[in-house]
Chain A
Amino acid sequence: MIEAVFADRIQFAFTVMFHYLFPILTMGLGFFIAVLSTMHLATGDQRYASAARFWARIFAINFALGVVTGIPLEFEFGTNWSRFSAFGGGVFGQTLPLEGVYAFFLESGFLGLFLFGEGRVPRVVHWLAGIGVSLGSLLSGYFIVATDAWMQHPVGYIADSAGRIHLKSFWAVLLNPYAGWQYAHTINGALLTAAFVIGGVGAFYLLLNRHQEFARLSVQTAVVAGLILSLTQLFPTGDMDSHNVVQYQPTKLATMEGLFETAKGAPLAIIGMPDAQHGRLLDPVLVPDFLSFLAYGDFHATVSGLNTYPQNLWPPVELTYYAYHIMVGLGTIFIAIMLLGMFLLWRRRLFQSRWYLWILMLALPFPYIANEAGWVVAEVGRQPWLIYGLLKTAQGTSANVAVGETVFTTLGFAGVYLMLGLLFLLLVGRVIHQGPQEETV
């Protein structure tokens, strides 16, 4: 028999990870579309308008899937995690409806205007609609990250003698110190993904000798934006976000770094396989003292290892460790790819270097993996807590929902999402195959 909390976690993990594939691109691409339509408004150059229209078609398919796969998540708070909702709803729920009220309405209202309003509304209004869509999707990200940040680092509440919690400060919840850098790191990841998508599609066209002008614009944009973004992904956003972990979540830090023993001058494991049973790292490549420096800015600082904590407070070691190392490893590779691209752009060989265009095209899926891995570190690394230090995950489930029901609906979601995933690939593939329209309007 499967344990209830395991079935619930699998369901949430599956539905949220599938969902997140889409908002990554709506948040990232929305920004680039807003930039393109601003360029069009400023210069009157039709190339920007047709590029904006091309990406808007992909954005629309993405957006539709983001919406329909997002609604289940809000429902699951009540259906599968009812004790969590009943316990913390008055506090973490502060940020949740604001996403609908401040972001979704903006996004969905203006998307209709942006996609179908061209020619029907003044050009400035159409441009504003594009800005509204981008702003809406970026704001929506903040409210979700703030909700998650509260689960990572609960603030702004008071507990009564019966163990219930009540809201103490709305602003403390909304402006949770954990949320700021977590949000910056998340959005930076989304923008970086969009840069890789734009670059990947551009490289695809260049390799095929199709839509040359559009493709050059895309690849160039991707390399310039991508280099900046892949660097800011690491520093300051990634570095500052991990300071949250250092400060508030020592068990997560020790697990993701694979540090089993407390050490003064702790080493940083570049690679290695954790052997949780014996509390050691197999075949490690270590940089001495470097973890202490990254965490505390001092090569001789003491970092607490997992041995400091009872084993029932450890997060799942292997998953957290690998997710973190996959994220950081890919992030490093992204910097290398973009540096190389920048070098070629500087030597004016970017558009002719077919080997590089191949790399850029094939790199397209990897930022998605890095983003998802980052969230696995954040969420799996928080275990066994649902609300860090306040509520265990096993205590947040719905007691009145049978395991069989959860398994059944998870299988249902698996079927529905398989179909959605195939449809998405088919439709986006078609849009890419058709390519940007040479001026029609």
Chain B
Amino acid sequence: MNIVWFWTLAVMLTAYAVLDGYDLGAGALHLCLARGNEERRIVLNAIGPVWNGNEVWLIAAGGMMVVSFPKVYASGFSGFYLALMVVLWLLILRGVSIEFRGQIDHDLWRAFWDAGFCVGSLLIALLLGVALGNVLRGLPITANGYFQGTFALLLNPYSILTGLLSLAILAWHGCNYLRVKTDGALLQKAQRWSARLWWAVVVLVVASTAATLLLGPGMGQNFRLYPLSLVFPLLTLIGLMGGFLCRRNHDRGAFRSSTAVIIGLLTSAAMTAFPNLLASTLDPSYNLTVYNASSSPHALLASFIANIVGMIGVIVYSTYVHRTFAGKVQLRDHGY
């Protein structure tokens, strides 16, 4: 059950990255890609009806971590204290930017919220990658299971590299989403940006894979132990190739490719970390693992059943909602 929960959380966070990833990415490119009120409204309407639901994956994943691995939740959230608070403020800024921009018909009002949406999305995409980098790299967790994460500790070359990777991939993913949702001049711009970002993604994927393997001798170990898990990095590779093939047209193919890259990378990262949830740089015996940081077996089983039943329903109707808003965006009176 501990292992099942580990992978449930991995799936939840991957789903979050794929879903909220495209609206974060679209936001990060908002100021440079979309020019003028009409193009910006198209971008906002492309994500408007779904961004909130996408963000719920993060909230649900957080709640699931409380019940399944309370010690990890306690240690990670208090350790990353200030960084998480900054993320919270950015989430607030970004959320209100999306919802408030269209409320008042005034150029300066819109300009302000456009900037808020863009800066918020960009920094969140970056910081999520920085956080993941630090989790993979390990944290100075002491015998009592806690650590104090100052910015001096968290902003290291490796995590900045993974942060940039995260930003590049989500921007690329968001760009591919806009390719599916828009047409005309905006579509052409999105295609050009998507082709450019593809190169950035390739360079950063190679660089951070190398850097991860150089972190320590144990890093690739799980892939040797369980050769079947090589499908995860293989999926990344396929996604990257698909992205190259679809860089000019085949907009849907491009979106599927970036989805595959995100899934491949995050599952590879989870495989690399397993069975650690938070590794200690001080002493491996202080690691918080799926075995020593979990709640009791009964708690794991009960919450797994309760959550899975709900998630099936979620998947059914969020598919319906996504279907309803499928297709190219048309500007109407009701909307952003």
B-binding residues in A (CB < 8 A): 60-61, 64-65, 67-69, 71-72, 74-75, 77-80, 82-83, 85-91, 93-94, 96-102, 104-106, 108-113, 115-118, 120-121, 166-168, 170, 398-401, 405, 408-409, 412, 416, 420, 423, 427, 430, 440
| Contact between chains at B96 and A64 (CB < 8 Å) | yes
Q: Mark B225-269, 1 if CB is under 8 A from A, else 0.
A: 000000000000000000000000000000000000000000000
Interface residues of B in 34-86 (CB under 8 A from A): 48-50, 52-53, 55-56, 59-60, 62-64, 66-68, 70-71, 73-82, 84-85
Most buried by B among A79, A111, A117: A79
Q: Which of A72, A90, A98, A398 contacts B78 (CB 8 A)?
A: A398
Asked whether any CB of chain A lies closer than 8 Å to the CB of B284, the reply is: no
Binds A, one of B157-165, B168-176, B194-202, B316-324: B316-324
| Main SS at interface, chain A | helix
Among the 9-residue stretches B129-137, B203-211, B275-283, B299-307, the one with 4 or more Cβ atoms under 8 Å from chain A is B299-307
Cross-chain contact B310 with A102 (CB below 8 angstroms): yes
Please judge, given known A-B contacts A90-B299, A423-B96, whether A78 and B73 are in contact too, CB under 8 Å: yes
Q: How far is the CA of A115 from the CA of B49 in the complex (A)?
A: 8
A166 contacts B298, C-beta separation under 8 Å: yes
Complex interface: stretch among B21-29, B98-106, B181-189, B215-223: B98-106
Chain A min CB distance to B178 (Å)? 18
Of B60, B84, B146, B317, the residue contacting A104 (CB under 8 A) is B60
Q: Are B50's CB and A86's CB within 8 A?
A: no
* Chain B positions within 8 Å of A86 at CB level: 70-71, 73-75, 145
- In the assembled complex, which residues on chain B have CB atoms less than 8 Å from the CB atom of A112? 48-50, 52-53, 321, 325
Q: Which residues of A contact B82 (CB under 8 A)?
A: 405, 408-409
Of the residues B73, B299, B324, contact of A91 by C-beta under 8 Å: B299
**14 residue pairs from A and B, CB less than 8 Å apart:** A67-B52, A74-B59, A86-B70, A94-B299, A94-B303, A99-B63, A105-B318, A112-B49, A113-B321, A167-B299, A398-B146, A400-B148, A409-B85, A440-B333
Looking at the complex, which one of B66, B85, B313 makes contact with A89 (CB distance below 8 Å)?
B66
> Does B214 have its Cβ within 8 Å of any Cβ on chain A?
no
A contact residues around B317 at 8 Å (CB): 105-106, 109-110
Residues from chain A with Cβ under 8 Å of B62 in the complex: 74-75, 78, 97, 100
Contact yes or no, B60 A399, CB < 8 A: no
Q: B91 at the A/B interface (Cβ < 8 Å)?
A: yes
Q: Does B92 contact A (CB under 8 A)?
A: yes
Interface set of B (CB-CB < 8 Å, partner A)? 48-50, 52-53, 55-56, 59-60, 62-64, 66-68, 70-71, 73-82, 84-85, 88-89, 91-92, 95-96, 99-100, 103-104, 144-148, 295-296, 298-299, 302-303, 306-307, 310-311, 313-314, 317-318, 321, 324-325, 333-335
Q: What chain B residues lie within 8 Å of A109 (beta carbons)?
A: 53, 314, 317-318, 321
| Residues of chain B lying within 8 A (CB to CB) of residue A423 | 96, 100
Chain A residues within an 8 Å CB radius of B295: 89-91, 93, 166-167
For A67, list chain B residues within 8 Å (CB): 52, 55, 95
Chain A residue with Cβ nearest B66: A93
Residues B78 and A77 in contact, CB atoms below 8 Å apart: no
Contact present for B53 and A401 (CB under 8 Å)? no
Among A78, A110, A412, A430, the residue within 8 A (CB) of B74 is A78
